[in-house]
Amino acid sequence: MKRVASSAINAFASSGFLRSSSRFSRHYASSGSKKIVGVFYKGNEYASMNPNFLGCVEGGCGLREWLESKGHQYIVTDDKEGPDCELEKHIPDLHVLISTPFHPAYVTAERIKKAKNLQLLLTAGVGSDHIDLKAAAAAGLTVAEVTGSNVVSVAEDELMRILILVRNFLPGHHQVISGEWNVAGVAYRAYDLEGKTVGTVGCGRIGKLLLQRLKPFNCNLLYHDRVKMDPQLEKETGAKFEEDLDTMLPKCDIVVVNTPLTEKTRGMFDKDRIAKMKKGVLIVNNARGAIMDTQAVVDACSSGHIAGYSGDVWNPQPAPKDHPWRYMPNQAMTPHVSGTTIDAQLRYAAGVKDMLDRYFKGEDFPVQNYIVKAGELAPQYR
């Protein structure tokens, strides 16, 4: 879930989400040195190739010099799985854990129970479903992310994936690499985007940006969400609201998944729902892999019911070498990269630093960044 609906701030206020509670006192930092652990993917040989490559272990979100100058301990690792991993060693005494959707440190109820000093869970990016949010709320922890930091990055990536699938780009690219030249092998299923019906499942920040970017292609645009978008934006994009998801899906040539991963959306695209889509549908999913039934996608791609599936999200992450999406036909998958462009990294690194600074000072975060506060979950995760 890489988005929060723009109307969510009002929902936060009306639900009492913004109210502080004396029952939960783990939001602000007490005085003294803090132990902060960051879990990121390794940059390896690429780490030194760009000074703005902050989202990797070596870059550490650009926080080390600043944190250590303030007397805090900062530990960064990519080792996050299993009882003997580096992260597990620090769980009992860390105060802040910074994680990322691109290399998620799964913060389970068991880990939260062990983390006696833990006060704050920060996501460097957008999407905090790798954290057991109910357990965090019950423990009085604050969970926050850098809302909006990579929405442009993800929306652009979605548009690219739509074009890659519609134009049947990958087979032609593979021909070039293998020394072949077979125009027919590409052209027999390459189409124009113009005139196609594109539906987004979820229309928060990313969904809205995608619709705006699709407008010049003269597509028929549909969207399904729990709330309607602003009437002016609806008019500008020409997008039509579809209240019922299963009514919208059969109309779509292309379906883009932009909904958060919640208990309600987990596995929502199962065998039965996929069967309701047009034969030959194209699907782009940069939201979360667990929104899809893994085997149902494999079967539909194999049968041709799904003519193309592209995304950068998997379940789990990193995807194991034997993950079936790596080998299914008609796919254009990548690792989880859409929201970690260099531009996005600069934005979410700055956002993490800002929230840490506020945490040390005992100040509130920007309201849209809160995922759990004072024992309550943000509306989109309920």
Provide the annotated active-site residues. Answer: 150, 288, 317, 336
Question: In 56-192, where do the E strands start and end?
Answer: 73-77, 96-99, 120-123, 142-145
The first and second tokens of residue 289, run together, are 């892999």
Of 306, 296, 299, give the one whose Cα is nearest residue 330: 306
Q: What residue has token string 């969510």?
A: 8
Give the DSSP H/E element, type plus range, for residue 224: strand 220-224
Q: What residue has token string 């956002």?
A: 351
| 141: amino acid identity, one letter | L
The first and second tokens of residue 261, run together, are 């991963």
Give the DSSP H/E element, type plus range, for residue 199: strand 197-201
Helix (H, G, I), strand (E, B) or coil at 318: coil
* Residue 307 phi, psi (nearest 5): -80, -20
Q: What residue has token string 């006192």?
A: 25
Which value, in Å, is the radius of gyration of the alpha carbons in the chain?
21
The first and second tokens of residue 41, run together, are 């993917």
Q: Which residues pair with 76 in a beta bridge?
A: 38
Residue 346, number of CB atoms within 10 A of its CB: 16
